[in-house]
Structure formats: structure tokens, C-alpha cells
Amino acid sequence: MDIFSQIGLMFIIAAAGAFFAKLFRQPLIPAYIIAGILIGPVFGLIESSEVIRTMSEIGIAFLLFVVGLEMNIKKLKDTGFFAGIGGTMQMAFVFLIGFGIALLLGFMRIEAVYIGFIVAFSSTMVVVKLLSDRREIDTLHGRIIIGILLMQDIIALFVISILGTPNGFSLTMILISIAEGIGLIILAYLCSRFVFPSMFKFGAKSQELLFLLSLAVVFIFSIALSYLGFSIVIGAFIAGLSLANLPYHFEIMGRVKSLKDFFATLFFVSLGIELVLVGLQHLILPLVIFTIVVLLIKPFILMVISAVARYTKRNSFLTAISLAQISEFSLIIVSQGLIVGHISRDLFSLTILLAIVTITATSYLMNFELKIFNFFSKYLTPFDIAATTEQLQYIPEELEYDFILVGYDRIGYNIFKMLDKAKKSFLVIDFNPDIVKRLASKKIPCFYGDIGDPEILDRLNLKKTEIVVSTVPGVEDNIHLLKRVKGENPKILVFVTASVIEDALKLYKEGADYVILPHFLGGERVSNLLEDVKGDAKKLNLAKLEHIDDLKSRIELEHEHPGGA
């Protein structure tokens, strides 16, 4: 079968798997992996080839390029210290556990080193994709996760360089690798600061040129790092970081998204194709043990470290459970180790199996993370002893409010302005720590929290509340809010938000008084505006000036347009 037919078959089976996954409301990543297993080791329709491996590596590269684009370093300032220290501590502990268990299982010392790193790293590609799909990038636990993953990716850069030589390790080689890595990061920073702003300002005049410039940057960094002995994946990630602070990064993400999705699908399908099902019986015990390390011990260690850092049990749990998988860098490390002769084919197969099991598990764990947390919440109280959220709230003596606004960003901001003008007493709940700090500094009643957390709703006194408005689009969270609010005070009017019509109808069925559909708000707003101005240029100009003032205030509040990725 020629390469075109192979790729075509991969997408046909992947599309069928994705269709049934969506039909039964299942995550897509396991569907892609199962598709690969079916067309590869089960039916033998496609055999793993160098071309498929190369294209899957390009898939990882584009995914990590987009990940780099989404990593706004400025947003990590509050969690950067913990991400650096706590994330490194977790990696060190997990590495030592993995290394020790590997030796006990009879692996050679060099293979034990590889296994230590394999279980220590978590997947930036998978986790950021899932966080982005769930709109949790800007939550507190989302920022902690991104910070830890960024630190891991930097460490991975050096590990891949050091382990990539067939001649063993030496202090000189390690120092050279560290120097090269630091040099590349400095180069990316200098380009981001002095070269790319003017280049992309000109390129932004044409969407096609902007897209081509972005691709050129990806390939320049990837090729340069390839010549220096690094993986092209690291080059793409650094390229994304170097463009992350440009004002055009949303447009770049929008343009690259289709390429990213194309190659990402190839990667997950090829993961299943790479699996060898014959003669794996002797790997069952190591697979079970290392799966326990990754899914249970690794998150537990991070929960302990997070609790010591005084994060709440909820943030600690959501952070820990999100990092319970091995990384795409783990796959690159073992592929490299196999080439240079450090590891056996068995260890390579074990890593592929471990990736499939833990990445699939992560998809389900993150999909049901709130239900899992709520179920285990009472057992996690010891992790909450040192927690503090004092800096993330402003609660005056008055604990009864006419209005409760859940979600301040974008839609919530307009509602907030209306409530402020009406001189109504109100409380704002938001899971973006920057927003809560800003509101608290202005003495606006608020606190940090997620309505999916029962303990957050326990804090609300709803006896005198007239209206509750949720601008958070999560269906399960809003159903939970509806049941709790209506159960305590049926007279309260509850406005909730949905992303699609089917979810809106479901929320109406659950008792919502009104469901906001953001995608239709623009059309409603324009039709109302046309009716108000009725061709009057002065009225339209007044509306225009008000809109400009509103947009400027949103820029000050760092509201970002959601259109990119």
C-alpha cells in the first residue's frame, strides 16, 4: 500500500472512531489510539514505517508549537515559583521511584535511568489540549499545570540531549548540553523581543503571509535544533514560546489549528500502530506496576507538595490528576535510546503500552475530574489543612446579596456594569485568580471558586437572593448550580450559559429560567442596534464611541478574544 493510501486509511478509521466516540460522549484521544491498534497490530492493514513515524513526529511538533503559543509567561507569575520548585521536586521523587522499581524488576542500570525519566515527565501536548477544550487554561489549577509542564519541557530539552549520545555520559557533555539549551532559550527571547515584533507587524497585513512567516519560524527553529542534535519537537515548542507574546498569536493559532489537528490525529493513530501485540506476556507485570506509579503515586506526590505550598485540596487534586500520564517526550527519549543502543525493544514496547494506557486514562480522568473530586472530597481534607485563599477573596460583613454573578470575564463584565449602575448588592464568583485579585483590590464582593465544587456553593446565603447568573458554559456545572439554587430557594431566577443548542434545551429541562447562547448574542445585539439607530448617523456614532470605550476597558482588563484556537 502506498503512503497516500496508508494516510487515507488512517484518517478514515480515525474519523469512524471519532464519530462513535462523540456519539457516546467519549473522549477522542482513546478513539484515535484504538483506530491505530485496529489497522496496525490487529488486522495488519498498515505496518509501522519511517514515513508514518516522521509524520507523527511532525504532529507532535505542531501541537507543541501551539502549546508554546498558548503559554503566556506573564500569566504564570503567580504560580511560577511553585511550578519551578514543586514541579522539579515531584519529577525528582518520581524519577527515583521509577529508577528504583526498574532495578528491582531486573532492568539494566541505563534502562532504569530511562524508565525514571519516562514516568517522571507528563504530556504537555495531551494535557494542554484537554485544558483548552475544557476552557481551564486560565484557572488557578490550569496555570499551575502549565507552569509545571513548562518546567518539565525545559528539563526534557537537556535530558534528550544528554541521553542522545551512544558514548555514555560525561560532565563535559552535560555542561555542553546545558549551555546549548540556555543559548537557544536566550536566542528565542531575543528574537521575540527585537526581531519578530516588526517582522510580524508587517506580515499581519496579509493573513497568508502571517501564516507562512509562522511556519517559517517553526521550521527555522526545528531545523536549527535538529542540526545541534535536539529533537525537532523541542524546536517547534521554543518557536511557539518566542511568538507567544506577539499581539497576533491568536490569529497564528487559528491558522495553524487545522495543521495541528491533522498531524495530531496522525500521532495518536500511529501510537496504536506502533504497538506490538506478540510476546508481551512478560511485560504485563512491569506495565501494571509502572501504571500504578503514573496514575496513583505520581499524583499523590504532587498533591502532597501542593498542600505544603498551601493550595486548596481542590486545586491540588485537579492539578495532580491532570498530570497522571507519561509524555510525548518519553516516546522521543525511548525512540532515541533504541537508536543509540541504550535500551531493548521490550522497553520500547513497554513505553508505548504505558503511553496508551495512561493517556487514555487521563482523557477519562479529566473528563470526569469534578465528579471524582466530589466523590473523594471528604477523604482529601488533610490536604486542605494549610490551604489559604485569603488573597483570593473580598467578603464584607454583608453575606446576603440581591445578585450572584458566576463568571466575570467577557459576558459577565457587561452584566457586572449593569449591576454596578443599578446599585444592587451583588457577589462575583470566578475561577480566574487575576480577576478575583483585581476585584478584591477594588473592594468588590468576590471570591475565587468553581461552581462545580460543592464547598463553594455551601458558602452562599441564598435566602434574599433574587437572581443568579452563570456565564460559565459547562453543562454539568450549571446543572449542579441549578439543582442547588432551586432546591434552596425556588423563587430565585437562574440564568445559565450553554455553548450549543442541545445543551441549552437540556438546561431548560433541568429548570433554567433563561439560557444564554453566546454565539447568538452578536446577532441579537446587531439587530437591536439597527432597530435603535434606524439609519440615524448620530445615534450610530454615539453607539460606536460607547463601544470603543468598552473595548479599551476590556484591553485594560486583559480580556482576550476567544476566536483563535
Q: Are 529 and 543 in contact (CB under 8 A)?
A: yes
- Residue for grid cell 478574544: 561
Q: Is 49 helix (H, G, I), strand (E, B) or coil?
A: coil
Q: Are 241 and 181 in contact (CB under 8 A)?
A: no
Alpha-carbon span 195 to 217, nearest angstrom: 11
Largest CA distance in the chain: 83
Q: In the structure, what pLDDT confidence band is assigned to residue 160 with cuts at 50, 70 and 90?
A: confident
In degrees, rounded to 5, the angle at the alpha carbon of residue 83 between the alpha carbons of residues 131 and 88 is: 115
Higher per-residue confidence, 181 vs 75? 181
Alpha-carbon span 279 to 333, nearest angstrom: 23
Q: Given the DSSP bridges, would you call strands 446-448 and 393-394 parallel, antiparallel or unpaired?
A: antiparallel
Residue 229 confidence (pLDDT) above 90: no
When the candidates are 1.20.1530.20, 3.30.200.20, 1.20.120.1200, 1.10.10.10, the CATH number that belongs to 3-384 is 1.20.1530.20
- Residues 353-368: what's their mean pLDDT? 88
DSSP lists the bridge partners of residue 470 as 406
Residue 324 confidence (pLDDT) above 60: yes
- Residues 88-104: what's their mean pLDDT? 94
User: In Å, what is the CA distance from 436 to each residue of 395, 430, 446?
Assistant: 11, 7, 7
Alpha-carbon span 269 to 290, nearest angstrom: 23
Class of domain 391-516: alpha beta
Q: In the structure, what pLDDT confidence band is assigned to residue 275 with cuts at 50, 70 and 90?
A: confident
Task: Specify the range with the lowest mean pLDDT, choosing from 320-324, 338-342, 512-516.
Answer: 338-342
- Say which amino acid occupies 463: K
- Residue spans per domain, the chain: 3-384, 391-516
Long-range contacts of 76-81, Cβ-Cβ distance < 8 Å, separation of 24 or more: 76/143, 76/146, 76/147, 76/150, 78/143, 78/433, 78/434, 79/140, 79/143, 79/144, 79/147, 80/147
Mean pLDDT of the chain, nearest integer: 81
- DSSP letter string, 380-407: GGGGGTT---GGGEE--S--B-SEEEE-
Region at 483 (left for phi over 0; alpha for psi -120 to 50; beta for the rest):
alpha
Residue 161 confidence (pLDDT) above 80: no
Q: Are 18 and 28 in contact (CB under 8 A)?
A: yes
Report pLDDT for 344: 86
Alpha-carbon span 70 to 241, nearest angstrom: 8
Alpha-carbon span 432 to 88, nearest angstrom: 25
Report pLDDT for 393: 62
Residue 12 confidence (pLDDT) above 70: yes
